[in-house]
Chains A and B, each alone.
Chain A
Amino acid sequence: KNEVEQSPQNLTAQEGEFITINCSYSVGISALHWLQQHPGGGIVSLFMLSSGKKKHGRLIATINIQEKHSSLHITASHPRDSAVYICAAHSGGGADGLTFGKGTHLIIQP
């Protein structure tokens, strides 16, 4: 069974700082997801990636398949980026679901 570890667990930063959240997994995967969970609980899918790098606005996600590691970066962070960021690994085809990290609780202070 895949084990997904995220770091840090909690991160507080000042507005404008560059943020990096890390995710490591133990078993080879077909895809890795980055999710955002706001205080109300709703979850938004940010990225799904299986190699390389993806960018959406101020968010960048990278993955290194050989090292079994992914990072989520936020440039020019803003208080509205405050949320829990979760990585989830998809280990197989179809029905076996995702293995989730415990999440990184990010607070951006103005």
Chain B
Amino acid sequence: SQTIHQWPATLVQPVGSPLSLECTVEGTSNPNLYWYRQAAGRGLQLLFYSVGIGQISSEVPQNLSASRPQDRQFILSSKKLLLSDSGFYLCAWSAGHYGYTFGSGTRLTVV
């Protein structure tokens, strides 16, 4: 069966520090992968999506970047975190029209 792993579950980082959130998928190949963010009081917003290794599309300009070094691995990064990067980050995958599977999410607090 298909599963998705996202870690860590919670993270507290100081302003200016780097960030790396990882998401891996099992049980499928060549999935579409997504990073979403939920800022306080707002709905989930698409940050990045990837249709294949090394292929990253960004939906909104921001202090973040994404990479897909392997077919089932999707990484969200920042070189220097800002206070405004705080929020709930969610990884998801889909295989076209077969619905979405969501990770458990990472709650990031930048202090």
Contacts and interface: CB of A to CB of B under 8 A. Distances in A.
Contacts, number: 59
Contacts of A43: 90, 102, 104-105
Nearest to B50: A95
Chain B binding surface SS class: strand
Contacts of B32: 94-95
Nearest to B55: A95
Contact of B49 (A48, A95, A101): A95
Interface residues of B, number: 26
Q: How large is the interface on A (under 10, 10 to 19, 20 to 34, 35 or more residues)?
A: 20 to 34
A110 interface: no
A98 to B, nearest CB: 7
A45 B101 contact: yes
Interface in A1-38: 4, 30-31, 33, 35
Q: Which are the 8 A-B pairs with shortest beta-carbon distances?
A: A100-B44, A102-B43, A100-B43, A42-B104, A97-B46, A48-B99, A43-B102, A41-B105
Interface of A: 4, 30-31, 33, 35, 41-45, 48, 86, 88, 90, 93-103
